[in-house]
Amino acid sequence: MSFLDRFLIISVVLVASVFPVELFPNTGPVPRGGDGQFSGKQGQVVVVAIPELKDATSVKGRFLGRTVTLFPNPAAGGMGYIGLLGIDLQDEPGAHELTVDAQLGEQGRHFSYQVLVVKEKFSVEHLKLPKDKVDLDEKSAARWKAEQEQVRKALAEESAMRLWHTGFIEPVHGKRTGIFGSVRIMNGQPRNPHNGEDIGAPMGTDVMASNDGVVRLVVDHIFSGRGIFVDHGLGLYSMYFHLSDVLVNEGDLIKAGQVIGKVGATGRATGPHLHWGMKVNGARVNPYALLELPFPQNPATARPVFAAPSLLAPEESNPTAAGSDTR
Ligand SMILES: [Zn+2]
């Protein structure tokens, strides 16, 4: 039994003891959530596994209107399917259903899981600023809208092939600010939550790709400045913003650890830092969640994770000290 299997069985047993739902019904159609439970906090990534499934032609999950693609578990010798379920930072806390449909030749199999979304405590900051510092003028507002649409279109198509492998890399060794998910309320109006993590580092510091992928978009946007969007396949994207330099082109195949740009302060930034974001099937997740995935160690694919313990020191969690976005 692999580490992942053990982990999941322990997780399911632990959750099952909290939620009195019958895990293995004897007969009849699968009741809602009857195949088991998963749980995770807002902004986290849950590894979903169906250990008993084999030789499927396609395995697709649906969760809160998003599609989750499952793939054969590389660590299980042809048995079982796994997938990454991203929990958006604004997904409603509570129990939701994850349905999975597997195609096995002519036959189909349907699974239903209960996913418990646990509320995360994100910080809220109230600011009062002069009106012209907060509201975009008409021209800037139109530009921002067009940029949002450009990103939406580029990320709507996902690569059907998985390019990422276990062992994600922190793209910059620097001061992690811990402001993922935080909300700024400016003059009483809530802004979009901060959908990534800011890492403070000197101007010109190397920015590495977090994993293998294809460069889907290179931009120069009003808020994010010079930025790179990397498609890692199966709906997983990483983003790198406020760069001073971009060293790749759209369509380039890149490797984990490859230097793709340099830290800067382009766009709306108070100082040099990297804004690092991750999207899993459309869900905005904390990129550091990818570094902590409970995958089994596979020497063929594992890579070092450069997360220095000092980055998590609580006294260093002041975002403005390291430079951050002003969104
Ligand atoms: Zn940021």
| Distance from Cα 197 to the centre of ligand 1, integer Å | 6
Which of 276, 284, 175 lies closest to 229, judged by CA?
A: 276
- 221-241, pLDDT tens digit by residue? 999 999 999 999 999 999 999
| Distance from Cα 276 to the centre of ligand 1, integer Å | 7
- 161-181, pLDDT tens digit by residue? 899 988 899 999 899 988 899
Burial grade of 206 (CB within 10 A; 0-12, 13-18, 19 or more): middle
| Distance from Cα 193 to the centre of ligand 1, integer Å | 10
Q: Which residues surround ligand 1, an ion (CB under 5 A)?
A: 198, 275, 325
Residue 322: the pLDDT is 54
Residue 9: the pLDDT is 52
233, β-bridge pairs: 236
Residue 2: the pLDDT is 55
| Distance from Cα 81 to the centre of ligand 1, integer Å | 34
| Distance from Cα 253 to the centre of ligand 1, integer Å | 25
Per-residue pLDDT of the chain (327 residues; tens, 9 = 90+): 555 555 555 554 444 444 444 444 444 566 788 899 999 999 999 999 998 898 899 999 999 999 999 999 887 776 899 999 999 999 999 999 999 999 998 899 999 999 999 999 999 988 887 777 677 889 999 999 999 999 999 998 878 889 998 889 999 989 998 889 999 888 888 888 999 999 999 999 999 999 999 999 999 999 999 999 999 999 999 999 999 999 999 999 999 999 999 999 999 888 999 999 999 999 999 999 999 887 654 433 433 333 333 333 333 334 444 567 765
Distance CA 30, CA 78 (A): 25
Alpha helices, DSSP H only, in the chain?
A: 3-18, 131-134, 138-156, 288-291, 319-322
In degrees and rounded to multiples of 5, residue 141 shows phi and psi of -65, -40
- Please tell me the pTM assigned to this model: 0.81
Handedness of CA 282, 287, 293, 297 (dihedral sign): positive
